[in-house]
Amino acid sequence: MLDQTKLPIEESWVELREPGEVADAIKRMVVRGAPLIGAVAAYGLALAALRSRARTGRELLSDLEGAADLLRATRPTAVNLFWALDRVLEAARRAGDDPEAIRQAVLEEAHKIAEEDLAINKRIGQHGQVLVPDKATVLTHCNAGALATVGYGTALGVIRAAVEAGKEVRVIATETRPLLQGARLTAYELVKDGIPVTLITDNMVGYVMSRGMVDLVVVGADRIVRDGVFNKIGTYGIAVLAKEHGVPFYVAAPTSTLDLTRDSSQVIIEERSPDEVVRIGPVRIAPEGVEVLNLAFDFTPMRYVSAVITEDGVFKPDELLKRYG
Amino acid sequence: MLDQTKLPIEESWVELREPGEVADAIKRMVVRGAPLIGAVAAYGLALAALRSRARTGRELLSDLEGAADLLRATRPTAVNLFWALDRVLEAARRAGDDPEAIRQAVLEEAHKIAEEDLAINKRIGQHGQVLVPDKATVLTHCNAGALATVGYGTALGVIRAAVEAGKEVRVIATETRPLLQGARLTAYELVKDGIPVTLITDNMVGYVMSRGMVDLVVVGADRIVRDGVFNKIGTYGIAVLAKEHGVPFYVAAPTSTLDLTRDSSQVIIEERSPDEVVRIGPVRIAPEGVEVLNLAFDFTPMRYVSAVITEDGVFKPDELLKRYG
Contact B177 A176 (CB under 8 A): no
Query: Which residue in the set B208, B236, B291 is minimally distant from A198, CB to CB?
Result: B291
* pLDDT in the model for residue A245: 98
Rounded to the nearest 10 degrees, what angle do helices A99-129 and A34-51 cross at?
A: 170
| pLDDT tens digit sequence for A71-104 | 999 999 999 999 999 999 999 999 999 999 999 9
Q: Closest residue of A to B171, CA-based?
A: A291
Cα torsion through A121, A126, A129, A134, rounded to 10: 130
Please check whether residue B234 touches A, CB under 8 A: yes
Query: Which residue in the set A184, A289, A298 is minimally distant from B285, CB to CB?
Result: A184
Side-chain-facing half-sphere of B119: CA atoms under 13 Å: 7
Whether residue A282 is preceded by a cis peptide bond, meaning omega within 30 degrees of 0, is no
Region A107-129: mean pLDDT is: 98
| pLDDT tens digit sequence for A286-298 | 999 899 999 999 9
* pLDDT in the model for residue A281: 82
Closest chain B C-alpha to A241 CA, distance in angstroms: 7
Interface mutation target, options B147, B185, B186, B204, chain A, most CBs of A under 10 Å:
B204
Residues in chain B within 8 Å Cβ distance of A187: 286-287, 290
* pLDDT in the model for residue A75: 96
Sheet containing B307-310: which strands, arranged edge to edge? A291-292, B197-200, B169-174, B136-140, B216-219, B249-252, B307-310, B313-315
CA distance A5 to A30: 5
Closest chain B C-alpha to A278 CA, distance in angstroms: 8
pLDDT, chain A, mean: 97
Region A193-213: mean pLDDT is: 98
Residues in chain B within 8 Å Cβ distance of A289: 191
* pLDDT in the model for residue B178: 97
Cα torsion through B207, B209, B213, B216, rounded to 10: 150
Phi, psi dihedrals of residue A145, rounded to the nearest 5°: -115, -160
Query: Which residue in the set A201, A284, A294 is minimally distant from B277, CB to CB?
Result: A201
* pLDDT in the model for residue B281: 82
DSSP structure string for B85-117: HHHHHHHHHHT-S-HHHHHHHHHHHHHHHHHHH
Question: Are the C-beta atoms of B198 and B171 separated by less than 8 Å?
Answer: yes
What pLDDT band is residue A189 in, cutting at 50, 70 and 90?
Answer: very high
Sign of CA dihedral B197, B199, B202, B206: negative
Domains delineated in chain B: 19-122 (1.20.120.420), 127-324 (3.40.50.10470)
Contact B287 A204 (CB under 8 A): no
> Above 90 in pLDDT, residue A41?
yes
What pLDDT band is residue A10 in, cutting at 50, 70 and 90?
Answer: very high
Contact B8 A287 (CB under 8 A): yes
Interface mutation target, options A170, A204, A231, chain B, most CBs of B under 10 Å:
A204
Sign of CA dihedral B17, B21, B23, B28: negative
What pLDDT band is residue A282 in, cutting at 50, 70 and 90?
Answer: confident
What pLDDT band is residue A107 in, cutting at 50, 70 and 90?
Answer: very high
* pLDDT in the model for residue B224: 98
- Burial string for B146-157 (b: 16+ CB within 10 Å, else e) reads bbbbbbbbbbbb
Interface mutation target, options A176, A184, A203, A245, chain B, most CBs of B under 10 Å:
A203
Sheet containing B223-225: which strands, arranged edge to edge? B223-225, B228-232, B297-301
Contact A180 B241 (CB under 8 A): no
Work out the percent of chain A whose per-residue pLDDT is above 70.
100
Please check whether residue B255 touches A, CB under 8 A: no
Rounded to the nearest 10 degrees, what angle do helices A99-129 and A80-94 cross at?
A: 140
Query: Which residue in the set B203, B293, B295 is minimally distant from A237, CB to CB?
Result: B203
Residues in chain B within 8 Å Cβ distance of A292: 198-200
Query: Which residue in the set B183, B204, B285 is minimally distant from A286, CB to CB?
Result: B183
* pLDDT in the model for residue B132: 98
What positions of A carry a catalytic annotation? Answer: 222
* pLDDT in the model for residue B72: 97
Q: Which of residues 130-189 of A touch B (CB under 8 A)?
A: 172, 174-178, 180, 183-184, 187-188
> Above 90 in pLDDT, residue A171?
yes
What pLDDT band is residue A48 in, cutting at 50, 70 and 90?
Answer: very high
Cβ-Cβ contacts under 8 Å for B102 (sequence gap 6 or more):
B49, B57, B60, B61, B64, B92, B95, B96
Residue B79's CB is within 10 A of a number of other CB atoms, namely 24
Positions of chain B with pLDDT under 50: none
Please check whether residue A206 touches B, CB under 8 A: yes
* pLDDT in the model for residue B282: 84
| pLDDT tens digit sequence for A63-72 | 999 999 999 9
Region A223-243: mean pLDDT is: 98
Q: Closest residue of A to B301, CA-based?
A: A210
Region A194-222: mean pLDDT is: 98
**Residue of B63, B97, B193, B222 marked active site:** B222
**Which of A250, A268, A266, A244 has its CA nearest to residue A309?**
A250
Closest chain B C-alpha to A43 CA, distance in angstroms: 30
Contact B293 A196 (CB under 8 A): no
Contact A203 B174 (CB under 8 A): yes
What pLDDT band is residue A152 in, cutting at 50, 70 and 90?
Answer: very high
Please check whether residue B246 touches A, CB under 8 A: no
* pLDDT in the model for residue A286: 96
